[in-house]
Structure 1
């Protein structure tokens, strides 16, 4: 059977499918409402009670029988005795006797017998007796039980991404927690003996480690959890030992995905490739720029708990290549694993503000800035894969097909919006 490296470069879509196939759908867990923001609902949410659960007042005012105040006017008000005070939260609300009014607050239960609320602004605000200077139609300012949702009604479907309104709805239904899809746990490994933690002094030949931190943040923004392990040395046996230790851990510390950056090219010291080749992970080229060298598979290692497998995606080491590769291959796979309804970045079409050229046979992802008002997009920086400053200022990626060699200013292009 031919290996990936023997069959030639994969297309972007082929490698996206290969990475996505590594991650099975995650399981279900229950979380408190305050921890549910950004999570994906795992099961249908139905109303446990009607919303609202009882008829209640939409205004501060007076509960009345509409027929009894039909003739009320500013120059001839209707005067009624105030039979009760009904604040919000009162549970022993007496029925409203004919010919009387009840002073009522917003959200308080409407008493039996009343069919309308007169706002306090249309009265003299009396406490023993009240003068009402305007009529009220039947049902005026009454929130009917169940008008928002009936008990048992389906409110949210599985796959809904939860934010403040949906969590507020769950709380209104009396739910203390929700069933959500478990977040994948990703072990982010940065390799390279030349890497130094930011803030430490640099010796000749050393650089500050940035990929691990950048990718760990990207993992979390994609809806997964991340454990960052930096500065794994360029030592094959040590690299495998670190992985075996992590793979033997119990959930939730055990990773669903190992994500590496660097060590996957054709050089003499490619520790990731050397350590993982022959253990279930394949390496090869993808017909794209930046990010040509890639790897993925299910790593099989002997661990303290026995023979264990874990999904692995290996990214190139140049920072732009690493993050663009994450956007193209890993982010959609993580979001699909939790059942997110929109695993991909939003895509729009815009007109190029200047000419672009592109090498034949490689799908290009160029950094860009979108002007939504004019519907145009401009490249920022150059295609070089080490220029992270331009990527930090970009708000989109310009997607140029592999068979495109030139695009003139004014022509439409596909744009991926880099929204968090």
Structure 2
């Protein structure tokens, strides 16, 4: 991982208010490249604004399976042993080891069978010296027994059983507490709950656990030219791909996506729609309408709000960006550019960290990996360029190959990519064989 793409610190453990100053709120600082013009923010500048304005959501107890992928906000302490009682590890006969000490294939030990114990029978059972009880896997070991003889070492008798091998005391017995002990911290705070952790919690009787909720993210695309799939297209209209793409990316990040679709370039209509949507939003993401045009609706509708900022960022694609907290609710809004590739790259760089911060997940940003570049690259100075690439691991190591074009509208090339090659602001040429920083998309954190 490249140090300038790490985020320091961890998310606070509680609170839904925006983050205050502190190193944990933003990315690690690096010197500002001299090639970036005045008035243009670095990627780190803009990301810090967003992370400072999106505090973790308040936690509450949620159903266990619904907590998949979310971090615990407090230690989970076992309320009982696992196993809770001594039980059989396999089907067979519960005996005393000393009663079968002389057993062999040539001289079996024969014991009377005094009963049968099934898993979950709810009835305590005991045996005396010189007897056996049939027992099923998971059933409680009868008092007086210390060993389970599997069926394979017996004649499976019902009245009397012939045992053909001696076993040590404790053989095939699961002793209480040999996995987890009562009072043990089995999962510390911050543990991200996966299937294995959820299985453990369920085994310990947890029906609900304290985690931060999945953020509710409202996605709005803007533009008079946008149409829903299946609608008639005029000669100058296009289908709305952005809201679908961003909604899918939100879901992939583990959040809840509310895709509103597109709104026309009418500032009043946009403000009404936005106000209506805030009732179900922890975060709003818009695409389009933030550049320098005459019909940039998001900029026109929100410029002048105390906490809303629009500015250029030294990156390509994705130069125009916006962020602020809107209306009385103070809901964070991240405004992304409208071209499809720009919107997706901006989501990866800015929105994904915000979602993870709302969920209390760290790190905020996807880790960088290093790969060998498979062809030459050029890049303009003063911009951090995110080049679409195909990442693969071969017998010679990791390599990444640029794919598709450089146009910010070329989503066909974006769909061919599984990585973004990160070219620094002061790097104007990279050569085949160079080691480059790479964001592997869809990779787990």
TM-score with structure 1 setting the length: 0.93
Deviations 1:299-323 (A, max 9, x none): 2x3xxxxx44221110000001001
**1:368 equivalent in alignment to 2:394:** no
Name the counterpart of 1:223.
Answer: 254
4+ runs of 1 displaced by more than 4 Å? none
Superimposed CA distance per residue, residues 280-300 of structure 1 (whole angstroms, 9 cap, x where no aligned partner): 21111111111111011122x
Select 1:313's aligned residue among 315, 324, 334.
334
User: Is 2:312 aligned against 1:285?
Assistant: yes
Look up the match of 1:412.
Answer: 435
- Output the CA distance in 1 between the equivalents of 2:130 and 2:283: 72
Give the superposition deviation at 1:36: 2.3
Give the drift of 1:7.
Answer: 5.0
How far apart in 1 are the matches of 2:258 and 2:319? 26
1:265 aligned partner = 291
Query: In the alignment, what sits opposite 1:81?
Result: 112
Offset at residue 244 of structure 1 (A): 2.2
Of 408, 414, 422, the residue aligned with 1:385 is 408
Partner of 1:294: 321
2:416 pairs with 1:403: no
Once the two structures are overlaid, the 10-residue window that deviates more, 337-346 or 185-194, is 337-346
Q: Would the aligned equivalents of 1:345 and 1:419 in 2 still touch at CA under 8 Å?
A: no
**Given the alignment of the two structures, is residue 110 of structure 1 paired with residue 141 of structure 2, yes or no?**
yes
Question: Of 54, 63, 69, which residue of structure 2 is paired with 1:32?
Answer: 63
1:191-202 residue pairs with structure 2 within 5 A? 191-202=222-233
Structure 1 unmatched ranges of 5 or more:
1-5, 302-306
| Deviation at residue 165 of structure 1 after TM alignment | 1.1
Q: Quote how far apart the aligned CAs of 1:44 are.
A: 1.8
Counterparts of 1:308 and 1:173, CA distance in 2: 40
Which residues of 2 match residues 60-71 of structure 1 at below 5 A? 60-71=91-102
Q: What do residues 21-80 of structure 1 show as CA deviations (whole Å, max 9, x unaligned)? A: 111110112222232222322222221221110011111111111111121111111111
Aligned residue for 1:375, secondary structure, equals: strand
Q: Is the 8 A contact 1:26 1:337 kept in 2?
A: yes
Match of 2:196 in 1: 165
Which one of the candidate residues 212, 218, 229 is aligned to 1:181? 212
* Distance in 1, Cα, partners of 2:155 & 2:347: 67
CA positional deviation for 1:132:
0.5
SS in 1 for 2:149: strand
Equivalent residues, number:
404
- Matched position secondary structure for 1:372: strand
Alignment match of 1:334 (pick from 351, 355, 369): 355
Give a deviation string over 1:229-275, Cα, whole Å, max 9, x none. Answer: 2221101111112222333x3xxx2x122211001111121111111
- Structure 2 unaligned runs (5+)? 1-36
Kept after mapping to 1: 8 A contact 2:115/2:134: yes
TM-score (norm 2): 0.88
